[in-house]
Amino acid sequence: MPAPPALDGITVLDFSTVGPGSRCTRILADFGATVVKVGVPPSKSGKQVQPAYWAYSANRGQKQVRIDLKDPRGKQAFFALARGADVVLESFRPGVVDRLGIGFEDLRPHNPRIVYCSTSGYGQDGPASKWAGHDLNYLAVSGYLACSEPGVGGKPPIPGATIADSAAGGMHAALSILAALLRREKTGEGEYLDVSVADGALSLMSLYIDQYLATGEKPGPRHDVLTGRYAYYDTYEAADGKWLAVGAIEPHFYANLCKRIGCEQWLAHQNDDAVQEKVRADFAAAFKTRSRDAWVAELSGHDTCVSPVYAIDEVLDDPQFQARRVFTEATHPAHGRVRQLAPVFAGMPRGQVVAAGDATQSDSEALLREAGLDPASLEELRAAGIID
């Protein structure tokens, strides 16, 4: 009999709809937690963002409750839910949950074991704490953009993925919550977590920040191996206009690469700064002689650290990913079967068809009934538009 999911029995109340918070609870849900998205009734939603139905894995395996928290009766209904929860996650501007009366200190009397996680761009304190921002802003202030290969005129690049939201925010929050749940097993007490996406982005840049602090050397594009200083760590265009990524850092990988692309003249010059542009030019000329996939067939299985640069549609056909069963399907009540990325972290189930969430439906009544509200109270809240 298979073991239960790692977070089986953990309930998370999630106020986020997009961004780092939703990436965090996507991880927790895929590890088996019961995630309940907490929103407001449609008539009172205001500026609340509702993502596309397919976003965040179509909210697979998650439930939804909609409560007007500005009404005292709605707030009490939320407290009833919180009494049976393990985690609350919010991503409002700093100070908002306290003004609403649903912050950590408001919940502690109802549930002293609650782990309360606030995700925000710059953290709950400091001169930038109230600033609005998005992924690009957090990568900018962390030094990430300044260390990336610039475009024309030195223009900092716009990354092709929301790295800060995902790794610096979502994973940062998920790790912090898991650590707090483990600590709660020892202490019996919950705690408050202040997750700053910008702080998390600094963690992504720790190699270069620590280098500067220790040596005074200012990292930037092409300052070392990992930022393109040498020809063996770069991207090259093939004959068909497609691209290859080369990361032959270790000497034996570099030697294998030089021999197989016909550049043996550079075998003794792997880290010779004086000739790197010549090496780069010869590598570029060599790769231009065959198509991308021909080079992949020639090089990828021979310890050269060469891989294809895929477009998104090509990712789906990659035999390695197919063998790893990283794609699955979810059933959506309005859109039918939706193909999507499966849970990919170690210890998560793969290859299962799951139920997608439905933003038009609410589990409010069922969840609040489980939390102890009687039918008459539920009917009163619904009639008053406090729940939906």
Q: What is the mean pLDDT of residues 30-55?
A: 82
| Closest-CA residue to 351 (of 371, 330, 334, 368) | 330
Alpha carbons 119 and 195: distance in angstroms, whole number: 5
| Proportion of the chain above pLDDT 90, given as a percent | 77
| Proportion of the chain above pLDDT 70, given as a percent | 98
20-24, 131-135, 256-260, 328-332: segment of lowest average pLDDT = 328-332
Global pTM exceeds 0.75 = yes
Catalytic residue among 86, 165, 199, 234: 165
Alpha carbons 379 and 368: distance in angstroms, whole number: 11
134: annotated active-site residue: yes
Q: What is the mean pLDDT of residues 170-195?
A: 97
88 - beta bridge partners? 13, 116
CATH topology of domain 11-203+327-383: Rossmann fold (3.40.50)
Domain boundaries, the chain: 11-203+327-383, 225-237+243-308
Q: What is the mean pLDDT of residues 236-256?
A: 98
pLDDT value at residue 47: 57
pLDDT value at residue 49: 66
pLDDT value at residue 48: 59
Catalytic residue among 8, 98, 125, 134: 134
In terms of pLDDT, which residue wins out, 330 or 201? 201
pLDDT value at residue 351: 73
Give the model confidence (pLDDT) of 113-130 as tens digits: 999 999 999 999 999 999
Architecture of domain 225-237+243-308: 2-Layer Sandwich (3.30)
pLDDT value at residue 191: 97
Q: What is the mean pLDDT of residues 322-329?
A: 91
131-145, 193-207, 249-263, 317-331: segment of lowest average pLDDT = 317-331
pLDDT value at residue 334: 84
165: annotated active-site residue: yes
pLDDT value at residue 45: 64
User: Quick check: 95 pLDDT over 70?
Assistant: yes
